[in-house]
Amino acid sequence: MNRSHTFAVTLATLAAAALIAGPASSQPKASDHASHHAASPASADANQANSADGEVRRIDREAGRVTLRHGDIKTLDMPPMTMVFTVRDKALLEGFKTGDKVKFKVVNEAGKLIITEMQALR
Protein backbone atom coordinates (compact mmCIF):
# COMPACT_ATOMS: atom_id res chain seq x y z
CA MET A 1 0.00 0.00 0.00
CA ASN A 2 1.48 3.36 -0.92
CA ARG A 3 1.58 6.35 1.40
CA SER A 4 -1.18 8.35 -0.30
CA HIS A 5 -3.55 5.36 -0.11
CA THR A 6 -2.70 4.84 3.59
CA PHE A 7 -3.33 8.53 4.27
CA ALA A 8 -6.69 8.39 2.47
CA VAL A 9 -7.78 5.33 4.47
CA THR A 10 -6.70 6.99 7.74
CA LEU A 11 -8.55 10.18 6.85
CA ALA A 12 -11.70 8.24 5.93
CA THR A 13 -11.53 6.33 9.21
CA LEU A 14 -11.25 9.55 11.23
CA ALA A 15 -14.15 11.12 9.33
CA ALA A 16 -16.32 8.06 9.95
CA ALA A 17 -15.48 8.14 13.66
CA ALA A 18 -16.46 11.82 13.83
CA LEU A 19 -19.79 11.09 12.13
CA ILE A 20 -20.52 8.22 14.51
CA ALA A 21 -19.76 10.45 17.49
CA GLY A 22 -22.42 12.86 16.21
CA PRO A 23 -22.66 16.61 16.41
CA ALA A 24 -21.71 18.53 19.52
CA SER A 25 -25.40 19.30 20.19
CA SER A 26 -25.12 17.64 23.57
CA GLN A 27 -22.81 20.46 24.61
CA PRO A 28 -24.37 23.08 26.91
CA LYS A 29 -25.52 26.26 25.25
CA ALA A 30 -23.33 29.30 25.79
CA SER A 31 -26.41 31.14 27.01
CA ASP A 32 -26.96 28.61 29.79
CA HIS A 33 -24.80 30.23 32.42
CA ALA A 34 -25.24 27.54 35.05
CA SER A 35 -23.73 24.93 32.74
CA HIS A 36 -20.37 26.71 32.99
CA HIS A 37 -20.02 25.57 36.57
CA ALA A 38 -19.35 21.95 37.38
CA ALA A 39 -21.54 20.51 40.09
CA SER A 40 -19.63 20.55 43.32
CA PRO A 41 -20.70 18.44 46.30
CA ALA A 42 -22.57 21.46 47.71
CA SER A 43 -24.32 22.32 44.44
CA ALA A 44 -25.01 18.78 43.33
CA ASP A 45 -28.02 18.65 45.66
CA ALA A 46 -30.80 20.76 44.16
CA ASN A 47 -32.16 21.42 47.64
CA GLN A 48 -28.88 22.94 48.83
CA ALA A 49 -29.39 26.70 49.00
CA ASN A 50 -26.41 28.93 48.38
CA SER A 51 -26.41 32.44 49.88
CA ALA A 52 -24.91 35.58 48.41
CA ASP A 53 -25.23 39.35 48.53
CA GLY A 54 -26.05 41.38 45.47
CA GLU A 55 -27.48 44.53 43.97
CA VAL A 56 -30.64 44.63 41.87
CA ARG A 57 -29.81 45.88 38.37
CA ARG A 58 -33.10 45.09 36.62
CA ILE A 59 -36.44 43.45 37.43
CA ASP A 60 -38.75 41.73 34.96
CA ARG A 61 -41.78 41.02 37.13
CA GLU A 62 -43.83 39.54 34.30
CA ALA A 63 -41.16 36.97 33.41
CA GLY A 64 -40.19 36.35 37.05
CA ARG A 65 -36.56 37.33 36.50
CA VAL A 66 -34.14 39.62 38.25
CA THR A 67 -30.71 40.78 37.12
CA LEU A 68 -28.29 40.92 40.04
CA ARG A 69 -24.72 42.07 40.36
CA HIS A 70 -23.58 39.56 42.95
CA GLY A 71 -20.50 38.69 44.94
CA ASP A 72 -18.84 35.28 45.14
CA ILE A 73 -21.14 32.31 45.43
CA LYS A 74 -18.44 30.03 46.77
CA THR A 75 -20.57 26.90 47.06
CA LEU A 76 -21.31 27.15 43.32
CA ASP A 77 -17.70 28.09 42.49
CA MET A 78 -19.06 31.27 40.89
CA PRO A 79 -17.06 34.51 40.89
CA PRO A 80 -18.66 37.96 41.21
CA MET A 81 -20.60 38.96 38.09
CA THR A 82 -23.87 40.40 36.83
CA MET A 83 -26.40 37.85 35.65
CA VAL A 84 -30.10 37.12 35.26
CA PHE A 85 -31.79 34.76 37.70
CA THR A 86 -35.27 33.27 37.63
CA VAL A 87 -37.22 33.46 40.88
CA ARG A 88 -39.16 30.47 42.14
CA ASP A 89 -42.13 32.69 42.99
CA LYS A 90 -42.78 36.04 41.28
CA ALA A 91 -44.00 37.38 44.64
CA LEU A 92 -40.33 37.39 45.74
CA LEU A 93 -39.84 40.44 43.51
CA GLU A 94 -42.49 42.55 45.24
CA GLY A 95 -41.12 45.65 46.95
CA PHE A 96 -37.73 45.60 45.22
CA LYS A 97 -36.40 48.22 42.83
CA THR A 98 -33.23 48.82 40.84
CA GLY A 99 -30.32 49.68 43.13
CA ASP A 100 -31.58 47.73 46.17
CA LYS A 101 -28.94 45.73 48.03
CA VAL A 102 -30.13 42.19 48.70
CA LYS A 103 -29.19 38.89 50.27
CA PHE A 104 -30.49 35.95 48.28
CA LYS A 105 -30.48 32.16 48.22
CA VAL A 106 -30.13 30.30 44.96
CA VAL A 107 -30.34 26.62 44.07
CA ASN A 108 -29.09 24.77 41.01
CA GLU A 109 -31.97 22.76 39.56
CA ALA A 110 -30.87 20.73 36.55
CA GLY A 111 -28.39 23.42 35.53
CA LYS A 112 -30.78 26.34 36.03
CA LEU A 113 -30.11 28.76 38.89
CA ILE A 114 -33.32 29.59 40.75
CA ILE A 115 -33.65 32.19 43.53
CA THR A 116 -35.67 30.75 46.39
CA GLU A 117 -35.37 33.65 48.86
CA MET A 118 -34.46 37.32 48.59
CA GLN A 119 -34.32 39.93 51.34
CA ALA A 120 -33.42 43.60 51.32
CA LEU A 121 -30.23 44.55 53.14
CA ARG A 122 -30.63 47.67 55.25
- Residue 40's pLDDT band (cuts 50, 70, 90): very low
Whether 60 is in a domain gets the answer yes
Whether 29 is in a domain gets the answer no
| Beta bridge partner(s), residue 106 | 50, 115
Burial of 98 (0-12, 13-18, 19+ CB in 10 A): exposed
Instruction: Quick: pLDDT tens for 78-113.
Output: 999 999 999 999 999 999 999 999 999 999 999 999
Asked if residues 50 and 96 have their Cβ atoms less than 8 Å apart, the reply is no
Domain that holds residue 49: 34-120
Total number of domains in the chain: 1
Whether 112 is in a domain gets the answer yes
Whether 97 is in a domain gets the answer yes
Whether 3 is in a domain gets the answer no
Say whether pLDDT at 18 is over 50: yes
Which has the closest alpha carbon to 76: 46, 37, 115?
37
The CATH number for 78's domain is 2.40.50.320
Instruction: Report how far residue 122's alpha carbon sits from residue 115's, in angstroms, rounded to the nearest whole number.
Output: 20
pTM: 0.62
Amino acid at 95: G
Asked if residues 57 and 97 have their Cβ atoms less than 8 Å apart, the reply is no
| Beta bridge partner(s), residue 115 | 87, 106
Whether 18 is in a domain gets the answer no
Asked if residues 64 and 93 have their Cβ atoms less than 8 Å apart, the reply is yes
Whether 12 is in a domain gets the answer no
Burial of 73 (0-12, 13-18, 19+ CB in 10 A): buried
